[in-house]
Every structure is written in structure tokens, then in C-alpha cells.
Amino acid sequence: MTTDGTGHESVDLVRPYVITNGQELPKGDEFELVTLVTAADGGARRAQLDPERRALVELCCGGYLSVAEIAGHIGLPIGVIRVLLSDLAGNGQIVTRNPVPTAQLTDIQVLQEVLDGLQTRFG
């Protein structure tokens, strides 16, 4: 596993499909690029997992990361990460927080918060 996610330009195309045991790639809406993920139960039960799933759960033990960040840190394509995540979610080993959890939260509010945040940080 690398921490910067680079150097994987030539990930062997066969390998990811072996990792995912031939499952279909889930559609994007279950795990969007910015869906936030963390390990359930502090990553207990990860010892029985295969190396890729274990690495993923270990990474997620430290706190919340987006799906995109997980793919970047692990160095596997997003589609493969989605398969692994949906597996692990099925086993209750990871939990997600959806990008915008409450329906009441409109784009107007999000935009205002983004603007305030940018101005505070860079203003």
C-alpha cells in the first residue's frame, strides 16, 4: 500500500477482478466519490479478511475518509474499491455517512457554508 496513491498507473487489469471474485461493479450511487467511510467496531474482525479488504479496513480505522481518498491511499481503481466497500458494508465491517445526510439541507445552505469557509480560511 502506498500513501500517495501514485505509482499505480499500470495496475494489472486482471488482478482487481480476482480481488473482487468476479462480482459486478456496483453503481456509483451506493458509494459516491465523496461518501464518507469509517471502520465499524474499530476494525474488529479484520484479521480474517484477505489482504486487500484488511488493508482497507485498517486504513478506515483511523477515522472518516471519502471513497476517493480510500482509492487514492490503497492504490486500486475506484470501481474495485466500491466492490470491496459494498462487501464490507454487507458484513457490517464499515459504515458510511452519506455526502448530504439530511434532505432539508439545500444547495443554498451548502453554498453559503462553503463560501463562509473559504472566506474564513483564505480571506
Partner 1 sequence: MDSRLVSDDHTYLSEQVRIAAKILVVGHFAVGKTTFIGTLSEIPPLRTEETMTRAGAHIDDLRGVQGKTTTTVAMDFGRLTLSDTLVLYLFGTPGQQRFVQVWEDMARGALGALLLVDPQRLEESFPVMDLVESYGIPYAVGVNYFDESERRPDDELREALDLLPDTPVVACDARDEASSAGALITLVKYLQTRTS
| Residues near partner 1, by CB under 8 A | 4-6, 8-9, 11, 13-14, 16-17, 20, 22-25, 28-29, 32-36, 62-66, 68-69, 71-73, 76-80, 97, 99-101, 105-108, 110-122
Q: Which C-beta is closer to partner 1: that of 44 or that of 118?
A: 118
Q: Which C-beta is closer to partner 1: that of 27 or that of 48?
A: 27
- Cα distances from 11 to residues 8, 18, 71, 118, in angstroms, run 5, 13, 13, 36
- What is the nearest approach in angstroms of partner 1 to the Cβ of residue 44? 19
Largest CA distance in the chain: 50
Burial of 67 (0-12, 13-18, 19+ CB in 10 A): buried
